[in-house]
Structure formats: C-alpha cells, structure tokens
Amino acid sequence: MMRNIVAGNWKSNKSINESREWMNEMSELASELPSDVRVMVAPPTPYLAALAESKPSNVILASQNVSATNTGAYTGEYTAEMLVSCGVSFALIGHSERREYYGDSDSVVVEKISRCVEAGLGVVLCCGEQLEIRKAGTHEDMISAQLNYALNGITDVDPLNFVIAYEPIWAIGTGLTASAEQAGEMHTFIRKLLGEKFGSYRAGQISILYGGSCKPSNASELFANEDVDGGLIGGASLNTADFIKIIIAAGE
Ligand code: PEP
C-alpha cells in the first residue's frame, strides 16, 4: 500500500484568487508529479467548497479544522458532515497552533476524531512536543501520552483515511528542523505504538508524516527514513514550485 503523502497547510494565508492560481499551477504541473505520492492541501475554510469544484483531480482537499460538535445550535462551527458534503476528504486535528491558541485539548481532539469517523471524513492527527520536553529527553513519553489519549477506544482505523503527522513544536515555522535522525527515531517509535494498538500489519499501512520547517533543501534527507512517509508542510506549501519539489522528494 502506498504510504507517501505530502500535505500542505496554508494556515491563514492567501485570497481566494491566489488559491485558485495555486490550483491552476498544480494542474499544469500534474505530469511532473510522482504517481506514488498522495498530494493533499488544506486551504482556508471559506474557500473549500469553491476549490472542491475547480481543483485538479490529483489534489486532495483537507480542512485545517473541524467542529467537535454535531449539527445544531453551535454558532460559527462547521461539522465533519458539512465538510464531506463540500467535497473535503480530510481534516487536520490537533495541530499545535489549534492546541495552543484555540483550546484544542486532548479531550477536544478525541471528540473531533469521533465526528470525523462518524462522517467518513479522513483524519490527519497531529502530535508533537515542546522544546522543553525535547531538552528534558521526555519527548517519547509525551508523544505516547498524546497518541494514546487521542486513540483511546479506537480499535482499528482505515489506513487510507487515517494519517499521523509528527510535528515537533520547536520546528514549526521556526526554520529549525528536526534532524533526519531525530525524525526517523520518533517515526519508528510512533509506528511501534501504532503496532501495539492496532497490530503491526495495520501499523505498517499507516502514513506518518513529518512537519516542521520541511522544505526542498531538507525534504529528501528527512523522507529517506523508512518510517517517514512524507510531510505536512506549512510555509513551503504556499508556492507551488517549492511544494512540488517536496512532493518529488517524497516519491524518490
Ligand atoms: C505546520 O504548521 O504544520 C508546519 C509544519 O509549518 P512549517 O512547515 O511552516 O514549519
């Protein structure tokens, strides 16, 4: 099964016109893209329905967020079902910016995963440790706690619709990247955890992406690790030239 995925997270960037331009560029360059990499992008939410109608077929749409609640009196929220009805295939859950600025605690993460599973929306579950934790050497304990909490009660996942992103917080948007060795060690650790939970056959099918200042100059080295199946890309996903170089690196 193909594990390679490169996913872009635009965060709060780009106008709708700029988004359409990005999609057009991806469409024009489609023939250069490796066929063994799934390409995903998470544009700002207000554009999702429009982009679902005009995006090239080789790009999968993701939402940067999803509601923890269902249909009802929840002003400002959008449900997993709504996203599915707009042609969105995945939602990022537990991104460190959501955890830090918007109260997406571990228990909110659990709720959001449940809503996605119920609605048939794919999940990119993000985890990652702060710099203090990395310095203290307790990063594996923290990731294990984060993932065990998020996946508690889940007995199996559909590997086509469930992706993990390991994003050390100290590497996000900072220009600091985890070394290939640090990323590789953590990804192997995460696959072992998934194996304990879902069995090693299933764990071997799940894509584990690295995120944190991944760019064309470091992508190949990071992706060379057996357990690094691609990347969740912030800044370097905003322009198609850089993003495509990263996609090509994931297919090598
Ligand atoms: C992210 O926010 O998921 C991310 C990895 O950002 P950046 O690539 O800009 O560090």
Cα separations in angstroms, 112 against 75, 116, 151, 168: 17, 6, 11, 21
Report the pLDDT value the prediction gives residue 178, as an integer from 0 to 100. 87
207-241 pLDDT tens trace: 999 999 999 999 999 999 999 999 999 999 999 99
Mean pLDDT of 137-156: 97
Q: What percent of the chain is predicted at pLDDT more than 70? A: 100
213-220: long-range contacts at Cβ-Cβ below 8 A with a sequence spacing of 24 or more?
Answer: 213/171, 213/172, 213/173, 213/174, 213/175, 213/176, 213/177, 214/177, 214/246, 215/177, 215/242, 215/246, 216/242, 216/245, 216/246, 216/249, 218/177, 218/180, 219/245, 219/246, 219/249, 219/250, 220/249, 220/252
CB-CB contact of 87 with 61 (8 Å): yes
Domain that holds residue 39: 5-250
Tell me how far apart the alpha carbons of residues 12 and 101 are, in angstroms, rounded to a whole number.
14
Q: Is 120 in the pocket of ligand 1 (CB under 6 A)?
A: no
Q: Which of 81, 139, 167, 187 is catalytic?
A: 167
State residue 32's pLDDT score.
Answer: 87
Confidence band, pLDDT 50/70/90 cuts, at residue 160: very high
Active site residue 53: no
How many domains does the chain divide into? 1
Rounded Cα–Cα distance for residues 132 and 129 (Å): 8
Give, for ligand 1, the residue of 124, 163, 213 to mutate: max count of ligand atoms closer than 8 Å to Cβ.
213
Q: pTM of this prediction?
A: 0.97
Please state the atom number of ligand 1 nearest to the C-alpha of residue 171.
Answer: 10
Ligand 1 within 6 A of 129 CB? no
| Per-residue model confidence (pLDDT) at position 143 | 98
113: its two tokens? 């995963």
Long-range contacts of 43-47 (CB under 8 A, 24+ apart): 43/10, 43/14, 43/19, 44/10, 44/12, 44/13, 44/14, 44/19, 45/78, 46/16, 47/16, 47/19
Residue of 164, 233, 243, 246 with the most ligand 1 atoms within 8 Å of its CB, for mutation: 233
For 175, residues 6+ apart whose C-beta sits below 8 A from its C-beta are 213
211 lines ligand 1 (CB under 6 A): yes
Residue with the nearest Cα to atom 4 of ligand 1? Answer: 234
Distance 10 CA to ligand 1 centre (A): 9
CA nearest ligand 1 atom 2, residue? 234
CATH number of the domain at 110, please. 3.20.20.70
Q: Does the CB atom of residue 218 touch ligand 1 within 6 A?
A: no
Structure confidence at residue 56 (pLDDT): 93
Active site includes 167?
A: yes
Q: Which of 81, 95, 129, 139 is catalytic?
A: 95
Atom of ligand 1 nearest to the CA of 165: 3
Does 64 contact ligand 1 (Cβ within 6 A)?
A: no
Q: Is there a contact between 247 and 226 (Cβ–Cβ < 8 Å)?
A: no
Q: How far apart are CA 153 and CA 237, in angstroms?
A: 34
**Res. 1 pLDDT band, cuts 50 70 90:** low
